[in-house]
Structure 1
C-alpha cells in the first residue's frame, strides 16, 4: 500500500505523464477521476492526501468530507473552484500557479484586440463566403492613439501593456491593489472603473474571479462606454454580466466583443453571441501553448509533492493556513 493517495478530480489533458513523473518522487498512489459534481468529488477524494483539481467543484461540503487531505493544487492562476475559507479552516493548503501563461494570455488578448479592431475574423468569414468587399468592415479606425483600458493590472496586464505600447496605444488601468510605483514603471495611468469605461476604446478584462468581482462589468458599465468600444475578456467569463453584454451589443451601446471565456462554458448553442458578426468567440484557449501546458502541469504536481514532503509550496493561495499547519518554508 502506498504512503500517500493523490486524486486528480478532473482533467482535459491527453496525458498525465508529467504529473505521474513528479509525484513518483514520493510513494504515491495516483488516482485519475473525471468528476463533475460535489458527490463525485467526495466519492473519489474523501480519503486522499492530496488533490489535483481543474474544474470540478471543491465546495465547503466537499472539503468537510476530506478526512486526510493536506493539499489541493489547482491547474491555473485562479482558485475559483475551491472554497478557500473552508479549506483554510480545515488546515488544507491550497496552491495554484500564478506565473505560467503570462505571455500566452497577453498575446491572445492582443490578438483578439487586433482582430476586432482590423475586423480580420469578420472579413475572413466574408471572403470564404465568396464576398470580396472591404466595405463589409467599415468603419475601421487607426489603432495608434486609441486607448486600451485594462481591468486588473497584474502580471498578465503588465505583460500586455509592454506589447500594446508598440502599436501606439495609450494605456490606462483599473486595479485598487496596484501601487502608483508599479503603474509608473509600465507608463500606465491608473483610473477608477467608471473613468476607464467612459474613456477606453478597448477594454481588456484581466481581474481574478472572486465574490467581489463577479459581474464587475454590467449594464451600468456598458451604458457609459463609447459606442465604438470593444470589450475583450481572456480572464473569467463571469466577470462580465453576459446578458448585459448581449443587450449592449444588440442596442449598439458598444461596437463589439472578443471573448475567450464565457459565463457558462461550453457555450450554449442558443446563445445570441453566436449569431453576432461583431463578436469573436474562442474556446477558453488563451492560456495554451505547448510550453505553458508543460509548465503548468509540472508546477501543480510539485505543489502536492512539496506539501506531502512537509514544505509550504511556492504557489500558496491561502497564506492564512500558515497559522494552522506545521510546514517548513522552502530554502
Structure 2
C-alpha cells in the first residue's frame, strides 16, 4: 500500500525531487485550495503534509484522520498550530539546515547596500547627479557594532561575514551559552544593551508569541539615531507601523528588509517611498542550489515519517 503524501502549497516549478525519493513508498499529490474549509477537506486522508505557506490551523489539524507528520518547506513553523499538532500526536518538522549561506549573504548584502547607500547613489547617477560623496554621512565599518538578535545557524554565519568586514559583533540570545558566542569572537549582551549599542540591528529570531513585535516603539526608542535595522527572518518580528514612524521622524537611520508582516508589501505602503529603506521580496533564501536541496530534505523527512523512523528535525519534543 502506498502512503498518501499531500503538498498543500508551494511555489516550485515541479516536484520531481520529492517524487523520485518517495517513488514506491508514497503517492504524492499537490492540492489547490482556496480556504480553510477546503484545505481541511482535501487533507483529511493525508499520511504526511508538506507545507510551504498554507496556514495549518487547529481546525485543519483536527480534521486529519491519520497524519503522521507535517513538514514545512523552510525553517520557520509559525504558520502551523504546534499546540494542536502535539495534542493530535502529529510530528511537526522543518528544514533548519538549508540556505544558511544564502540568507547570511543576503543579510550582509542588504546591510551594506543600505549603509553605503547604493540604491540612492544608483538613482542619482542615472539622473545625472555625479556627486563623489554619499547622500548621508556614514561611519567606517570598523567603528560600528553589528548587533545580532538571535544566534542560531544563520546569525552565526552572518557574524563570520561581519567580523571579516571589520565590524565589532555583539549578540543577544537567551538560549545560547555566552561562551559559545565568545568562541566565535562575538560579545554576548542582554537585550537592552543590544538595542543601545548596535549600529546595525540584525534580526535572526524565530517568530513565536514572545517574539512578535520584538522590535516595537519601545525598543526602537532605545536605539541609536544612526541605527540600521536589517530583517531577513520573519516580518512579524517588527512592528512595521512603529518602524515606519521611527524612520520618518529620524529616530533611527533606516532599514533593510526582506520580510514583512504583510506580503507582498502593498505598493501604497510608506516604506516604498523612503530612500532610507532598502527592500527585497523575501528572496534571501534563494540560490540555484537551495530549491532542489530544500525539496530533497523535505522528501527525506517524509520518507522517515512513513517508515516509522525518528525525524531528523522535529520542532515538537515528544517523550
TM range (shorter): over 0.9
Deviations 1:187-227 (A, max 9, x none): 11111111111111000000011111011110011111111
Is 1:230 paired with 2:228? yes
User: What is residue 257 of structure 2 aligned with on the other side?
Assistant: 259
**Whole-Å Cα distance in 2 between the matches of residues 213 and 46 of structure 1?**
32
Whether the 8 Å CA contact 1:53–1:75 is kept in 2: the answer is yes
Aligned pairs, number = 319
Whether the 8 Å CA contact 1:106–1:156 is kept in 2: the answer is yes
Deviations 1:234-254 (A, max 9, x none): 000000110000010110000
User: What is residue 17 of structure 2 aligned with on the other side?
Assistant: 18
The match for 1:29 among 27, 30, 41 is 27
User: What is residue 239 of structure 2 aligned with on the other side?
Assistant: 241
Question: 1:166–1:36: structure 2 CA closer, same or farther, 3 Å change rule?
Answer: farther
**Offset of residue 136 of structure 1:** 5.5
Q: Which runs of 5+ in 2 are unaligned?
A: none
**Whole-Å Cα distance in 2 between the matches of residues 224 and 39 of structure 1?**
44
**Whole-Å Cα distance in 1 between the matches of residues 245 and 172 of structure 2?**
24
Deviations 1:237-291 (A, max 9, x none): 0001100000101100001100000111011121100000000010001111111
The match for 1:104 among 87, 102, 106 is 102
User: What is residue 204 of structure 2 aligned with on the other side?
Assistant: 206
User: What is residue 71 of structure 1 aligned with on the other side?
Assistant: 69
User: What is residue 159 of structure 1 aligned with on the other side?
Assistant: 157
Q: Mapping of 1:51-62 within 5 angstroms?
A: 51-62=49-60
Q: CA RMSD in A?
A: 1.2
Whether the 8 Å CA contact 2:238–2:261 is kept in 1: the answer is yes
User: What is residue 81 of structure 1 aligned with on the other side?
Assistant: 79
User: What is residue 294 of structure 2 aligned with on the other side?
Assistant: 296
TM (normalized to structure 2)? 0.97
User: What is residue 304 of structure 2 aligned with on the other side?
Assistant: 306
Question: 1:25–1:170: structure 2 CA closer, same or farther, 3 Å change rule?
Answer: farther
**Offset of residue 145 of structure 1:** 2.3
SS of residue in 2 equivalent to 1:31: strand
**Whole-Å Cα distance in 2 between the matches of residues 68 and 103 of structure 1?**
37
SS of residue in 2 equivalent to 1:15: coil
**Whole-Å Cα distance in 1 between the matches of residues 98 and 262 of structure 2?**
24
SS of residue in 1 equivalent to 2:143: coil
Q: Mapping of 1:44-193 within 5 angstroms?
A: 44-135=42-133, 137-193=135-191
Question: 1:168–1:25: structure 2 CA closer, same or farther, 3 Å change rule?
Answer: farther
**Whole-Å Cα distance in 2 between the matches of residues 34 and 313 of structure 1?**
27
**Offset of residue 144 of structure 1:** 1.3
Q: Which runs of 5+ in 1 are unaligned?
A: 324-331
